[in-house]
Amino acid sequence: MNFVLLFGVDSDLFKTCFGKDDDEWSCKIESLTEDCTSSELQGMLSRPDLLSVVVQDLDSPHWDAVVSYHQAGGFVVYFGIYGELDAPSALSGVFGLNWRYSAYTKESYELTPVGIQCLGDVITEQQYTKSNLVSAPEEDRIMIGKVCTLEVYLRECVGEIDEDLDSDDEREIEEARTHYPRHCEEMRNKSPLVMHTASHGGKIAYLGFVNGDGNIPKIVRALVTGSQTM
């Protein structure tokens, strides 16, 4: 049976966030601690039924084996629940990315076109919740902060707009209109979930979710197993 490997990751914490019960997963969940032997890890990484390896410590003594697995076409997932600010940049240095930490805040989220292609369109949104967020190129963004319409943005900035506007109201509205494109770009650079596919076929993803609210477990289970949401 196919499996996901948790390497140096607290399996209880991971499953509490993304699926406690075995019947919630379409595969097995295997674990190895960082003090395992090199041969134990290599044995797991070389198995043809391995779907992905989830990691948390970029300073692991066996980190080179994880990188080699990626270079051979494997799928590495970084579990970013603790919000290490340097992690996106460190992953970028190793895997040739252009990622950086952008925020730890609450937003509502939506799948991008890239995300829909990857995970399907059954689940496309996630409710307002906190996450560690990454700024990444458009082609790597699986989810982003949900971008509201200009009408909604104006209402959030200046309140209900009536017909009796004075000059101060009009100036405030115009300032909000001017800022709206920048707001949209800021939301697009708040990604709790990003993934890059290298030319050699290896994939690296960053999971910035800090809980299992709403649709998050289904989204994560689909991602790490290479399937689509149900």
The pLDDT tens digits for 109-149 are 999 999 999 999 999 999 999 999 999 999 999 999 998 88
Does CATH number 1.20.1250.20 belong to domain 3-145+188-225?
A: no
Per-residue pLDDT, 3:
97
pLDDT score at 84: 92
Q: Is the pLDDT of residue 26 over 60?
A: yes
- Tell me: pLDDT of 163 over 80: no
Burial zone of 100 (CB within 10 Å; 0-12 exposed, 13-18 middle, 19+ buried): middle
> Which of 124-144 are b and which e, b meaning 16 or more Cβ less than 10 Å from the residue's Cβ?
bebeebbbbbbbbeeebbbbb
Is pLDDT at 54 greater than 60 in this prediction?
A: yes
pTM score, whole prediction = 0.91
Is the per-residue pLDDT at 100 higher than 60?
Answer: yes
The answer, yes or no, to whether residue 229 has pLDDT greater than 90, is: yes
Domain ranges of the chain: 3-145+188-225, 150-185
pLDDT confidence of 154, banded at 50, 70, 90?
Answer: confident
In terms of DSSP bridges, do strands 100-111 and 141-145 run parallel, antiparallel, or are they unpaired? antiparallel
What pLDDT is attached to residue 22?
A: 86
Q: Are strands 125-135 and 193-197 parallel, antiparallel or unpaired?
A: unpaired
CA-atom Rg of the chain in angstroms: 20
pLDDT tier for residue 165 given thresholds of 50, 70 and 90:
low
The pLDDT score that the predictor gives to residue 158 is 62
Asked if residue 166 has pLDDT above 70, the reply is no
